[in-house]
Structure 1
């Protein structure tokens, strides 16, 4: 499990990105469970994730509408399979509008570069 914390901060919201090997929906659930064992991540406002498996794509917005699709598109574009990527956001009290999608993209980009 690779975790990059405090990579983006904007108007009080903070972001982290994490990921690891994932070959099934059960492994995705296990990865999220393990990540949320860290209290900091369990208390996050959103843990948005996606993974591209041989059986097809999986994604979850976790209340951050459209963010799972942003992650999934980036994984498809880079042809990254069997890898779950989770973008975590701690809401800072101010709405970010469309900037939140830029932050999700930047978080995924930083994760892919760290692989």
Structure 2
């Protein structure tokens, strides 16, 4: 995927000559010179999905360049599309993990922008104007060594409804938190529970208001990409703060996007039982 791009918004037809279509995109839309056109090295290209007279939008085109340097050279001209307000969009095809990480960085960048703090995204990092990089203040997911060491200073947690779907099992636990340190300790303590540590995925999200009244939030997908965002959106939609919710999933079969509904519903049921 490092050498792939996805081109969307290019009108298609059943009997099109896709090579000529791409030639037009590169030459007319990206305004590449003859020399630049001759330097393009493409391994393969195709429309994604089958053509249908009932389709509501053009099928995207996947283009695989011979290596990432050829892809990067073309991506440097993409700004011209936005400048001329073209309906065509060109984006890199990223692995799911990288795509979710990039989405999260954009969300963090947007939050800082509301505080008038400038930042730019470079590769997989968010860089502030003073040159420092954004880092998760919880320190990320606990390491195995941290989980193995017992901690007597534990907080009570509330359990949510158990959801089962086609062999998959979802269980949620919610804890009251007030700091990033609370988040790290609570996640670590929950992962020490035998019936939590055995799960295929342990996804969590948190929101709390710090001492100066600013909302702090974060998430961890644990390779269940998009599930952390589903939990965080659930907390936002219900205006929930000072809570960390962790949902465990024992995988049995594919259930598509329904899994995100289950993460949100069982997570909310645990949050609603806090303090009861």
TM value normalised by structure 1: 0.89
Query: Which residue, out of 63, 67, 70, partners 2:227?
Result: 67
Higher relative contact order (CA 8 A, sep 6+): 1
- 1:53 to 2:192 alignment: no
In the alignment, which residue of structure 1 is the partner of 2:87?
none
- The alignment partner of 1:79 has SS state of coil
In the alignment, which residue of structure 1 is the partner of 2:263?
104
In the alignment, which residue of structure 1 is the partner of 2:197?
42
> What's the C-alpha RMSD, in Å, of the aligned pairs?
1.5
- 1:4 to 2:164 alignment: no
Query: Which 4+ stretches in 1 moved above 4 angstroms?
Result: none
Aligned equivalents of 1:74 and 1:23: distance in 2?
19
Query: Is the 8 Å Cα contact of residues 25 and 58 (structure 1) preserved in structure 2?
Result: no
In the alignment, which residue of structure 1 is the partner of 2:250?
90
1:14-53 mapped onto 2 (5 Å cutoff): 14-53=169-208
Higher strand share: 1
- The alignment partner of 1:27 has SS state of helix
Q: Which runs of 5+ in 1 are unaligned?
A: none
TM value normalised by structure 2: 0.39
Aligned residues: 113
> By how many angstroms is 1:76 displaced?
1.0
